[in-house]
Structure 1
Amino acid sequence: MKAKRTKLEIIRDMLNILQRNRKVKITHLIYKANLSNNSIKPYLDDLLKNGLVEQYAEDDQKLFRITMKGNEFLMEFSKIKVFSESFGL
């Protein structure tokens, strides 16, 4: 059985989804990130509050996209992952 994802892993997964797709509806993000409607809200709120993701409207739909800051976060996160793995962590 796989271990539960950490908060940072969930955030990384959400940002990766947003990076691969130009515009994402909340339902798509919930499905692809494997989260429930209730559990995604605090993560999405944090991402919006910290400027890693932005919300916008298009054709009366609420959509989300990654920001430049979100892309920078993903790059730094992958560097940390490689660094920690080089020490066997």
Structure 2
Amino acid sequence: MKKRTRLEVIRDLLEVLQKNKQVKITHLIYKANLSNNSIKPYIEYLLKNNLAEQTIVDEKRMFKITLKGNEFLLEFNKIKIFSDSYGL
């Protein structure tokens, strides 16, 4: 199996967030198939670039996708379809 690119991991995380209203980090780790150590830079990137936001619910860190994150997914999927159609 081919290793995922950084963009593919970001897409996978955003898709998990898009399918769920609010997600704990453990759920993100499980659904995106990442380790506890490897998810940290991705979470920082998502938060820094306003693709996701963090809230505290019952003393637990929860994450949800932002409008910008949804737009990112839409554009990413358009590019993926285009590149696949030309065998890129």
TM-score scaled by length of structure 2: 0.98
The corresponding residue for 1:34 is 33
1:16 correspondence with 2:33: no
Match of 1:78, SS state, is helix
Match of 2:2, SS state, is coil
For residues 84 and 32 of structure 2, the distance between their equivalents in structure 1, rounded to whole angstroms, comes to: 24
Gaps of 5+ in 2: none
For residues 46 and 62 of structure 2, the distance between their equivalents in structure 1, rounded to whole angstroms, comes to: 14
For residues 87 and 33 of structure 1, the distance between their equivalents in structure 2, rounded to whole angstroms, comes to: 27
Amino acid at match of 2:69: G
The corresponding residue for 2:73 is 74
Match of 1:34, SS state, is coil
Deviation at 1:61, TM superposition (A): 1.2
Give the ranges of 4+ consecutive aligned residues of structure 1 lying more than 2 Å apart after TM superposition.
Answer: none
Identity %: 67
The corresponding residue for 2:42 is 43
Taking only aligned residues, the RMSD between alpha carbons, in angstroms, comes to 0.5
The corresponding residue for 2:4 is 5
For residues 86 and 27 of structure 2, the distance between their equivalents in structure 1, rounded to whole angstroms, comes to: 36
Match of 1:74, SS state, is helix
- TM-superposition CA deviations, 1:15-70 (whole Å, max 9, x none): 00000000000000001111011000001100100000000011111100000000
Amino acid at match of 2:3: K
Gaps of 5+ in 1: none
The corresponding residue for 2:61 is 62
For residues 12 and 23 of structure 2, the distance between their equivalents in structure 1, rounded to whole angstroms, comes to: 14
Deviation at 1:11, TM superposition (A): 0.3
TM-score scaled by length of structure 1: 0.97
Deviation at 1:75, TM superposition (A): 0.1
